[in-house]
Amino acid sequence: MSLLVVGLSHRSAPVSVLERAALSADAQVKLLQDTLAAEPAAEAAVLATCNRIELYADVDKFHAGVAELSLLLAQHSGVGLEELTPYLYVHYEDRAVHHLFSVACGLDSMVVGEGQILGQIKDALATAQELHTAGRLLNDLFQQALRVGKRAHSETGIDRAGQSLVTFGLEQLSAGAAVEAWAKGRKALVIGAGSMSSLAAATLARAGVGEIVIANRTFERAERLARILTDSEDTDVSARAVPMESVPVELTRADIAVSCTGATGLVLTAEAVAAAVEGRTGLSVPGAESARTPSPAARVAQPGAPLAPAGAEEGCPLDLPGVQSTAGFSVLGEAAVAGMAAAELEQHAAWVDKGDAAGRAQRPAVAGTATVHEAGVSTLLDPEGDADAIAALVSAVATAGRIPERRRPEPVAEAPRPAPVLALLDLAMPRDIDSAVHRLLGVRLVDIESLAEASADAPMAADVDQVRRIVSDEVAAFGAAQRAAHITPTVVALRAMAADVVASEIARLDGRLPGLDDKQRGEITQAVRRVVDKLLHAPTVRVKQLAAEPGGAGYADALRTLFDLDPETVASVSRADDEPKNENENARNRGRS
């Protein structure tokens, strides 16, 4: 059997795909059960976090295992296999071990070095043990991954580079200011009471917020978390619990809101956030309308949608006075539309056309106007205008999809955004907060997608190289231990067979020499056993050493063949070794719960 992992993460897939592929707790259980029922898999475990979904399995066939695990991920995530496949990665044998150890050390995290992943790996192992889907291989693998992760954090300074996703998100919200100075005395709302929400609440408390309100669908869990925060000796924060129905009201009082629930739909819509800010300030929120309705460009892009009359929309980004001197789009007006998507050109053509109406009225009347439909662009042309220039623009759109920038446009001063009165941190996958909130003025939203973009530029710590060396050493040691363990049942079966031979020969000796006293019989028995042990010692020690080396898996088969060992005897030794370990692990899990 061989270790295989199939998965996707923030490194291989966009957040929009991760969001759709996110697995609920029930879906993870069903995935484990179906994986174990599949023919190629003997063991299975699922590691699902806010930025990764990975299925680990012990399989007997590589290609069949990859196909089966990929199909199961697609089925249980609800994302079609054809759509999901380009974002999947596959690791096998030592590469799979290396991947999990790197994940455990925080090297593969969105925030390099963060330690939350250790708790998530521990939870994944506990779930697999509880469902009896983890056997010898995955038990050893995940337990060793936890040890490797702890070693990396204790022996290196990876913690200096790493921080929790919560801390990183709060740093993004504070926009460069120290989190403690930014958060001190503010009121915070935490939606959810799971592990991530609990970490967020504790982080906010240590940062010095004045009040924390916990909202959760199970009110008792919210109360328990609020009590823990209030009773903590490390902080003096005031914490209280509220039901989920109170979130809209509490949002009007909060300065910071963190959401991380297991909900499959939105917890906070753009309308709800806009209403909360309006309730807090008493003023309408700029941008609220655009967050609720499609933009003019989006409406133009819809097939069959009527074109808005010229001048009917406000906020046209074109510099109309600078364009009105020509008809339609010309080289002089090209800078104004440089970089504009093709879908937006039709609407802006209407603006320019109306703006130049007075100029055209002074020219001789023409029989009519021509309309060009090419590459999704519909532009009104003046026969006496710059038709060649317009044709060149249309051709460029057909090939590039956007108007090329041939001359540098004049810089346009952006309207200053008001300082946010509400800071939102969305750590859920799928997201809890509507992404349209990004367009609301007076609100700052940081979610998994924006964290992924920010972390791409985060500096790497000097200790990362040291952690990578630790991972490489631990992968080699784990592989050697697994290969050695693979031959151990064969060696045990060989020694058991030798003991049976000794016992049989001593019994035969008793029949031939019945006059032997107990002392003589004991001496003969010990002498025979010493001879057998000495004959077996060197070969069994050497075969364990050879089996621990890369490519040493065949020595167990050779030993079974040379000594004609019964395969069922070897298998029974393996099962006997597994049972005490599983019982001990289950007992430890029961003790933790």
Instruction: Give the phi and the psi of residue 217 in degrees, each rounded to 5.
Output: -65, -35
The residue whose two tokens read 């898999």 is: 41
Report if pTM > 0.75: no
Six-digit token string for 45: 């475990």
2-9 and 89-92 beta bridge pairing: antiparallel
In whole numbers, what is the pLDDT of the chain averaged over residues? 77
- pLDDT at 483 (0 to 100): 77
Per mean pLDDT, which range of 47-56, 307-316, 419-428 is the poorest? 307-316
State the Cα–Cα distance between residues 273 and 528, nearest whole angstrom: 85
Dig out the tokens for 529 from the structure. 């056993």
Q: Which of 50, 105, 260, 316 is catalytic?
A: 50
Task: Compute how many other C-beta atoms are within 10 angstroms of the C-beta atom of residue 114.
Answer: 21
Q: Binding site residues, as ranges?
A: 49-52, 109, 114-116, 120, 192-197
Alpha-carbon distance 364 to 27, whole Å? 72
What confidence category does residue 329 fall into, taking pLDDT thresholds of 50, 70 and 90?
Answer: very low
Please provide residue 417's backbone torsions phi and psi, each rounded to the nearest 5 degrees: -85, 140
- β-bridge mates for residue 212, sequence order: 188, 239
Sign of the torsion formed by the C-alpha atoms of 27, 32, 37 and 38: positive
Q: Which residues of 308-344 are buried (b: 16+ CB within 10 A; e: fewer)?
A: eebeeeeebebebeebbebbbbbeebbbbbeebebbb
Which class for 227: exposed (0-12), middle (13-18), buried (19 or more C-beta within 10 A)?
middle
| More confident: 393 or 554 | 554
Phi and psi, residue 557, nearest 5°: -65, -40
Active-site residue 50, yes or no? yes
Both tokens of 515, joined, read 């006059």
User: pLDDT band for position 222 (50/70/90)?
Assistant: very high
Residues 136/577, Cβ–Cβ less than 8 Å:
yes
Other beta carbons within 10 Å of 147: 13
Burial (CB < 10 A; 0-12, 13-18, 19+), residue 25, is exposed
% of the chain with per-residue pLDDT over 70: 69
**Among 80-84, 193-197, 589-593, whose mean pLDDT is lowest?**
589-593
User: Phi and psi dihedrals of 176, rounded to 5?
Assistant: 95, -20
CA atoms within 13 A on the CB side of 149: 30
User: Phi/psi of residue 106, each to 5°?
Assistant: 85, 10
Query: Hunting for tokens 């906070």 — which residue is that?
Result: 268
Please state the rounded mean pLDDT for residues 363-388.
Answer: 42
pLDDT at residue 197 is higher than 80:
yes
Read off the tokens for 496: 């058991």
d(CA 518, CA 516): 7
> Can you read off the two tokens belonging to residue 436?
């349209």
pLDDT tens digits, residue range 92-114?
999 999 999 999 998 888 877 78
Is the backbone peptide bond immediately before 430 cis, with ω within 30 degrees of 0? yes
Alpha-carbon span 258 to 203, nearest angstrom: 11
% of the chain residues with pLDDT over 90: 36
Q: What are phi and psi of 513, to 5 degrees?
A: -125, 75
Label residue 83 by pLDDT band (50, 70, 90).
Answer: very high
Cβ-count burial of 189 within 10 angstroms (0-12 exposed, 13-18 middle, 19+ buried)? buried
- The predicted pLDDT at position 445 comes to 93
Annotated binding site for NADP(+): 192-197
pLDDT for the residue 357: 42
Mean pLDDT across 455-470: 73
How far is 332 from 390, CA to CA, in rounded Å? Answer: 11
The string of pLDDT tens digits covering residues 394-420 is 666 666 555 555 445 556 555 555 677
Binding-site residues from annotation for substrate: 49-52, 109, 114-116, 120
In the predicted model, is pLDDT for residue 317 greater than 60? no
Give the C-alpha separation, 252 to 475, whole Å: 51
pLDDT of residue 580: 47
pLDDT-based confidence at residue 430 (cuts at 50, 70, 90)? confident
Side by side, the strands of the sheet bearing 2-9 are: 41-49, 52-59, 2-9, 89-92
Identify the DSSP state of 26. Answer: H
- Count each helix (H run) and each strand (E run) in the chain, helices first: 26, 12
Query: Distance between CA atoms of 191 and 261, rounded to whole angstroms?
Result: 7
